[in-house]
Amino acid sequence: MTAMPRIAPETRADESANDRLKKAFDSWLWNSVILATVAHFAVFAFSPELTAEDLGATSSVLTTVELPPVLDIPEPPQPIARPARPVIAAVDMAEDVTIEPNRWRDYPVDALPPPPDQLTTEVPPERPFFPYDVAPRVQNVEDVLRSLKREYPNTLRQAGIGGTVSVLFYIDGEGRVQDTRIAHSSGHAALDEAALAVSAIYRFSPALNRDRAVPVWVSIPIIFEVR
């Protein structure tokens, strides 16, 4: 028996182009990798050096801002109720209503004392004045009010005549009244005398200059009015 001659793969007549491409694939792949590597090294070796441009940008510091608190908006108020209609009450009233008779005729204007001239009294120089931080206060207001009612001249009260008398009080370092004088007259001598009588009732706390009690002059209006 004779042996058949063996044909090499690359010389086979029935080998297709696809088969030849598969056989040459490895060589083409490695050759492509080598060429790509050489091309990359050539580009990095011969390309010019690139530098980034300085744009000169500056950074700013951010600050935190506190948000305002949430406002609690109250509920709207309730609508106002419509007012009730007025009702006229039935009141029994006597038909013979009389007005109490007045006593103006018992005190005619001609019988009143004439008003004096306006008087003004300056602060006397014989009693020194000291500055103060705390003013003196009246300690017996109720006694002064009772004295006003008591000393008000009845003739002037019934006639409806009143007035204001400005009285100067000299108060020592212990709160005691050492002197009283009329600074501005009311225009009626009887009211001025009554104001001096009322001024004798006053009791004060001492005035203070820082922490020291000092004597001072103070002006207090004494008012007589018909109520």
pLDDT in tens, 182-192: 988 888 888 99
- Per residue in 72-119, pLDDT (tens digit) is 888 888 888 887 777 776 767 666 666 666 666 666 666 666 665 554
Q: What are the residue ranges in the chain where pLDDT is below 70?
A: 1-14, 56-57, 59, 89, 91, 93-129
- DSSP annotation of 79 reads P
Name the nearest CA neighbour of 140 among 184, 204, 78, 88: 204
Interstrand relation of 212-214 and 207-209 (parallel, antiparallel or unpaired): antiparallel
pTM recorded for the entire structure: 0.45
CA end-to-end span of the chain? 166
What pLDDT shows up at residue 202? 92
CA distances from 18 to 7, 8, 24 (A): 19, 17, 10
User: Which amino acid is residue 86, in one-letter code?
Assistant: P
Three-state SS sequence of 118-165: CCECCCCCCCCCCCCCECCCECCHHHHHHHHHHHCCHHHHHCCCCEEE
User: Which amino acid is residue 16, in one-letter code?
Assistant: S
CA–CA separation, 175 vs 116, rounded Å? Answer: 32
What pLDDT shows up at residue 204? 92
- Do 195 and 181 touch, CB atoms closer than 8 A? no
- Name the strands in the sheet holding 216-224, side by side, starting at the edge strand that comes first in the sequence: 177-184, 163-171, 216-224
Domain ranges of the chain: 116-224
Select the CATH number that applies to the domain covering 116-224 from these four: 3.40.50.300, 3.50.50.60, 3.30.2420.10, 3.30.360.10. Answer: 3.30.2420.10
What pLDDT shows up at residue 73? 84
CA–CA separation, 189 vs 130, rounded Å? Answer: 31
What pLDDT shows up at residue 197? 92
What pLDDT shows up at residue 14? 63
